[in-house]
Amino acid sequence: MLVRNKPSILIIDDDAAILHAFTRIFQKNGFSVTTAAKGSEAIEKLRTSRFDVALVDLRLPDMEGTELFPAIDKASPNAVKIMLTGSAHLAGNLEGADALLGKPVNLGKLLSVIDSKLKSRYIEA
């Protein structure tokens, strides 16, 4: 099994409370955390850093979260992309997302999905 130092996560959400809470949770769970409140800010961060996980809000002030997928794929081709949405009508999987979770987020489920997806990526690599 591949042993890594801290996995890195990019959290993209326009809600400052969510960014703060997720930063604390992921840091406590051993992640290196980077945040962005807008899609354009996330794109800038993707130009200079690689990430293991991208946690993306569907609705951002300047774009739809799915519009970030090409930039994420280019900067971090193996990144796990998890879409978060408060829209209950989006029950299926969104094109390009590895997982779709509704808000409010069940943290246990979120951490479990990330762990599972990261492990499967390392096994496939």
Task: Tell the burial category of 96 from Cβ atoms under 10 Å away from its Cβ (0-12, 13-18, 19+).
Answer: middle
Three-state SS for 85? strand
Euclidean distance between the first and the last CA atom of the chain, given in angstroms as a whole number: 11
Residue-range definition of the domain harbouring residue 118: 8-124
Among the ranges given (7-21, 35-49, 82-96), the one the predictor scored with the smallest mean pLDDT: 82-96
The answer to the question of residue 2 being in a domain is no
Q: Do residues 62 and 39 touch, judged by C-beta distance below 8 A? A: yes
- Between CA 61 and CA 5 the distance in angstroms is 33
Q: Tell me the whole-structure pTM to 2 decimals.
A: 0.89
The answer to the question of residue 104 being in a domain is yes
The answer to the question of residue 15 being in a domain is yes
- Between CA 28 and CA 9 the distance in angstroms is 13
pLDDT-based confidence at 115, cuts 50/70/90?
A: very high
Give pLDDT tens digits for 88-112. Answer: 555 454 778 999 888 888 999 999 9
In the chain, the percentage of residues whose pLDDT exceeds 70 is 87
The answer to the question of residue 1 being in a domain is no
Number of compact structural domains in the chain: 1
Residue 85 pairs in a beta bridge with: 102
Tell which phi-psi region holds residue 6, choosing left (phi > 0), alpha (psi between -120 and 50) or beta: beta
**Which two tokens mark 83?**
């879409």
**Length of the chain, in residues:** 125
Check whether 125 has a pLDDT greater than 50: no
Residue with tokens 């200079």: 48
Q: What is the CATH number of the domain that holds 116?
A: 3.40.50.2300
What is the pLDDT, as a whole number, of residue 2? Answer: 44
Distances (CA, A) of 92 to 95, 99, 108: 9, 10, 21
The answer to the question of residue 84 being in a domain is yes
Check whether 51 has a pLDDT greater than 90: yes
